[in-house]
Structure 1
């Protein structure tokens, strides 16, 4: 009986959320009617204190200045309009214009993005952005247009590392038997499982409670996300193994993009490109500030021999290279 009631309750909640969202979009559209102005609704899942949100604000300001107010951006942070996947689907149907998502989330829509999640593919930050701002990056951004999602630029999302609640992770062996939350991305799951952990895909918004209640033993993410999510309150061990450097992607739905004329498209692309350097600086500043916060909170930092981790996850890259197209891209990145 309890199960039936629970199912009915979730069903009613889903209906309520759907109706509320439809009403919300109706209100947005009714407020956006202006023959001299186009409004771009930009939804994402991060808090306003995050350096990526600050980069989005820089893009908004740049676009509105370039267009003399003809193009206006309204930002909806904190997952107000749904998860990354849900917002990408809203872009595809034209209900929302833009978003920022992890390249890992994009790979669920445009497979070419999987290459950005391969562990230890990028040697360092300079290597990463040499690739992203070169031919490979342009090809990736263009590849998603076939799925109604046009990539505009990449934002710095740092390096992802493990953090744990009960014990430090010094070697891959320390992950044995540990339940590690991952993104809902096959590459992330394969990486954790190959290292010996037990990958547990889970929505980011559910993770804090899951850590508190020992549903998972740890997770992996960058320093700003570790801090803004308050996961450091629960997990006191952060290991700088830096297994992946998965960038964020600024995306516009092709349905909205096609409503812009050539000049408006040029303004938007220019504003996105110019915001990249500002966002990188915001990222550096935020990491420095966050490290101070974590030290005061008595978080223990560990700096392991990354070679142990990179060797153990070699099968993940080898599996990807079985695809001839992916192999060519990987070889091009390694040669950069």
Structure 2
């Protein structure tokens, strides 16, 4: 990965992320997702909309599949101006911009409508702007679905069913706290190792959204999928301020308008993907469980309480979201 990053830096620094030819500017956009992913499809809509709005004056060159590094590495490239735009999870972005931590709180949103009312309203826009002091300006949010539990041998119907189960989570403190609060044994582990870990019984299960559950093939070795939807962490499309400041007022308007339009299109791509993936899961014989979410939300309240104690400066954002 170090060699890959060095090569990426050399390429990016030599070419720069914003190439100007006569009346055309080309902005480099890098992300880690495959080209079949619904978020990548949203990015394609951003690319098309921007070129159309600008009459070809602004173009986007996309580097998908992690060609220029991991999410964290690409964020660092944005900060120094070597890449213009990227898409990352709000969870990754929270390591750079603290306000994004709020979006990882379990059961923060009542439902999908509430989530996007918040994200596309004053609270969400305010969080997007918080990144500017870290050289990362948010443009819009993309739907990344909701994470739910899946297990190999024991069905999870209530929080009590999690007791004693080893559940793989991201190496993220809030995810760890949530699983532990629900009675499970949170087990941080590399995503690449997870298939074998479930297969061999090293862990009893994990948690993720339907497209990831299918693309990872974890549905092949997991008998149960419990749609508790404990967290709904969005993806974020953002531009480095070093490149943003090089754009004219009109160009900035084009970029923002194109981003907003792509966010609406991406929601449809995500829903289509979820519907398709849930059919695959059902056809594979996985039992789909619709639990009483309020039981899980109630038992995980301690995660929110602990978060507010540790981050009193962010408590007001949580309050605004809850009252929305």
Distance in 2 between residues matched to 1:273 and 1:286, nearest whole Å: 20
TM-score for both structures, normalised by structure 1: 0.89
**Correspondence for 1:3:** none
**Correspondence for 1:320:** 307
**Correspondence for 1:4:** none
SS of the residue corresponding to residue 45 of structure 2 reads helix
**Correspondence for 1:329:** 317
SS of the residue corresponding to residue 306 of structure 2 reads helix
Change (3 A) 1:81 1:199: farther
Match of 1:294 among 275, 281, 286: 281
Distance in 2 between residues matched to 1:320 and 1:202, nearest whole Å: 23
Q: 133-142 or 164-173: which moved more?
A: 164-173
State whether residues 108 and 185 of structure 1, in contact with CA within 8 Å, keep that contact through their aligned partners in structure 2: no
Deviation at 1:154, TM superposition (A): 0.7
**Correspondence for 2:265:** 278
Deviations 1:47-101 (A, max 9, x none): 2222111111101100111112221112222222222222212211222211111
Structure 2: segments with no counterpart, 5+ residues: none
SS of the residue corresponding to residue 321 of structure 1 reads helix
Distance in 2 between residues matched to 1:206 and 1:72, nearest whole Å: 38
Distance in 2 between residues matched to 1:18 and 1:105, nearest whole Å: 18
Deviations 1:216-246 (A, max 9, x none): 3322111122122222223232110111111
Q: 137-146 or 182-191: which moved more?
A: 182-191
Change (3 A) 1:96 1:206: farther
Deviation at 1:178, TM superposition (A): 2.7
Deviations 1:173-211 (A, max 9, x none): 332333322223221121112222222334444433444
Distance in 1 between residues matched to 2:315 and 2:13, nearest whole Å: 46
Cα RMSD after superposing both structures? 2.1
1:181 counterpart = 2:173:
no
1:47 counterpart = 2:34:
yes
Distance in 2 between residues matched to 1:224 and 1:214, nearest whole Å: 23
Instruction: Please list, as runs of the form range in 1=range in 2, the aligned pairs for 1:119-158 lying within 5 A after superposition.
Output: 119-158=106-145
**Correspondence for 2:230:** 243
Change (3 A) 1:280 1:19: closer
**Correspondence for 1:69:** 56
Distance in 1 between residues matched to 2:193 and 2:60, nearest whole Å: 29
Structure 1: segments with no counterpart, 5+ residues: 1-13
Change (3 A) 1:69 1:214: farther
SS of the residue corresponding to residue 122 of structure 1 reads coil
Distance in 1 between residues matched to 2:69 and 2:196, nearest whole Å: 19
Deviations 1:253-286 (A, max 9, x none): 1112122121111110000001111111111111
Q: 206-215 or 311-320: which moved more?
A: 206-215
1:110 counterpart = 2:100:
no
Deviation at 1:19, TM superposition (A): 4.1
TM-score for both structures, normalised by structure 2: 0.92
SS of the residue corresponding to residue 153 of structure 1 reads strand
State whether residues 49 and 228 of structure 1, in contact with CA within 8 Å, keep that contact through their aligned partners in structure 2: no
Instruction: Please list, as runs of the form range in 1=range in 2, the aligned pairs for 1:193-232 lying within 5 A after superposition.
Output: 193-232=180-219
State whether residues 105 and 185 of structure 1, in contact with CA within 8 Å, keep that contact through their aligned partners in structure 2: no
State whether residues 50 and 228 of structure 1, in contact with CA within 8 Å, keep that contact through their aligned partners in structure 2: no
SS of the residue corresponding to residue 64 of structure 1 reads helix
Change (3 A) 1:318 1:22: closer
Distance in 1 between residues matched to 2:168 and 2:98, nearest whole Å: 22
State whether residues 18 and 28 of structure 2, in contact with CA within 8 Å, keep that contact through their aligned partners in structure 1: no
